[in-house]
Amino acid sequence: MHRQKTDHLGDPYQRTLFKWTLLIPAGDLAAYFHALPAVYCLYYSFHQWGMQGNALFVGLDNYRHMLRDEAFLIAFGRTLEVLAICIIVELLAGLGLASMWNREFRARMCCEDLPSASAGGSSGLVIAVELHVGI
């Protein structure tokens, strides 16, 4: 008869509960750094506030003003264009690389090191540009 391996946590339910308990600090950090600022921004988006004094509730006036602003609409349209282009290019590039890596080819060993090499190279280029070093 085959017996299930037991450890100090006992049955599988306790092990699963323990693993989920380990995620509580990560959830707390996510709430603190993501959810809390989002709620704070949403609250102040319905107020007129100059960062001094009390905030005055204006309802949807800030959103009406934003949607009537031509500069915002142009910027928002460009953002959507860049988003669409980036998603399409990244999906096609990822699909192409995945299909290429799924086959055997001569330079495969060399190409497998490119991601780790490109990270250092791109960081070096950014630092060189920031420090105005001639390349």
Please give the model's pTM, rounded to 2 decimal places.
0.53
Residue 4 lies in a domain: no
Which residue has 């190409």 as its token pair? Answer: 111
Whether residue 75 is found in the same domain as residue 58: no
Whether residue 64 is found in the same domain as residue 88: no
The per-residue pLDDT for range 36-59, each reduced to its tens digit, is 999 999 999 999 988 888 989 999
Q: Answer left, alpha or beta for residue 77, where phi above 0 means left and psi between -120 and 50 means alpha.
A: alpha
Residue 3 lies in a domain: no
* Structural domains counted in the chain: 3
The domain containing residue 114 runs over which residues? 107-135
Half-sphere exposure of 131 (CA within 13 A, CB side): 9
- Residue 7: pLDDT band by 50, 70, 90 thresholds? low
